Amino acid sequence: MANLINGKEIAANVREKVRLEALELKNRTGIIPGLAVILVGDDPASKIYVNNKKKACAEAGFNSFEHLLPASASQDELIALIDSLNADPSVHGILCQLPLPGHIDERAVINAISPEKDVDAFHPVNVGKIMIGSYDFLPCTPAGIMELIHSTGISVSGKKCTVVGRSNIVGKPMAMLLLHENGTVTVCHSKTADLAAECRSADILVAAVGKAKLITADMVKEGAIVIDVGTNRNSDGKLCGDVDFAEVEKKASYITPVPGGVGPMTIATLMRNTLTAAELASKK
């Protein structure tokens, strides 16, 4: 039976450390980290995420700036708002909640955010820095996952790591972070010829595709570390991940639950990135 990786507990420790470091920064420089969150439209899930980020800012002693735009807002209006936030010295991090309405080009919006305030680490400049291993910020979910893996006490170095999913937000940067720690990395996707075989070879398996219970017990190596990034609803409307938790738990050595695994780490890492941005701004 697998050991449960408690994302809530690990995230709480990260957030407390961030709170103390933010207080030290304020006492030393007078700077209070500030995070601006932009929400376009009224997607219910996005609203929940935004509220969670607001609560996390309050807990960390950060300033929180919320900007709500109607779904009908134009791309030019959104980019004008971003330009004003780029120029605002009280804002150290800018996060535009995705997905955006179909008439807005997400890439143009991401590119408009100053790399120095891009606490999601989505801007091409920051992506490039991650590629070469010389970065200021790491994407929140992959960085949070690395913390979860580290909590097991098992080194990534030399391990066979399989990432299922190749999104720009999770899959690709996840592969890069594992590679930076000397993992031997395979990235799987919808065109992978034998997904089960690739997964079975993994010492560390990260599932990030958004398909409920895609990863079954017969696809998991005995004793593997299994990280479930998926957030799905099953036929009963219950939250579940990409991994068949009940069955895979019997084979894995460590496993993350859904909810309570990766999710809390994403917001904790966002707080840490915002603190980093404020610290960098204090040195200018």
The string of pLDDT tens digits covering residues 40-92 is 998 887 888 888 999 999 999 999 999 999 999 999 999 999 999 999 999 99
Summarize pLDDT for 230-262 with one digit per residue, the tens: 988 887 888 899 999 999 999 999 999 999 999
Q: Residue 103's domain is classified under what CATH number?
A: 3.40.50.10860
In a shared domain, residues 154 and 236: yes
Query: 187 lies in a domain?
Result: yes
In a shared domain, residues 104 and 183: no
Query: 267 lies in a domain?
Result: no
Query: 8 lies in a domain?
Result: no
Q: What pLDDT is stored for residue 63 in this prediction?
A: 98
Query: 162 lies in a domain?
Result: yes
Apex 125 CA angle, 54 and 187, nearest 5: 85
Query: 284 lies in a domain?
Result: no
Report the catalytic residues.
53, 97, 120
Q: What pLDDT is stored for residue 136 in this prediction?
A: 93
Taking the CB of residue 133, how many other CB atoms lie within 10 A of it? 10
Q: What pLDDT is stored for residue 172 in this prediction?
A: 97
In a shared domain, residues 104 and 165: no
Cα(216)–Cα(276) distance, rounded to whole angstroms?
Answer: 39
Query: 161 lies in a domain?
Result: yes
Q: What pLDDT is stored for residue 48 in this prediction?
A: 84
Please identify which residue in the block is written with the tokens 């720009």.
168
What is the pLDDT averaged over residues 208-228?
97
Print the domain residue range for 99: 30-115
pTM: 0.95
* Cα dihedral 15→20→21→27 (10° resolution): 150
In a shared domain, residues 80 and 181: no
Length of the chain: 284
Cα(27)–Cα(91) distance, rounded to whole angstroms?
Answer: 18
Query: Among residues 115, 150, 179, which one ends one of the domains?
Result: 115
Q: Which of 47-61, 134-148, 180-194 has the lowest mean pLDDT?
A: 47-61
Q: What is the mean pLDDT of the chain?
A: 96
Q: What pLDDT is stored for residue 47 in this prediction?
A: 82
Number of domains in the chain: 2
Cα(29)–Cα(138) distance, rounded to whole angstroms?
Answer: 25
In a shared domain, residues 108 and 147: no
Query: 219 lies in a domain?
Result: yes
In a shared domain, residues 161 and 50: no
Residue 20 structure tokens: 């103390």
In a shared domain, residues 146 and 206: yes
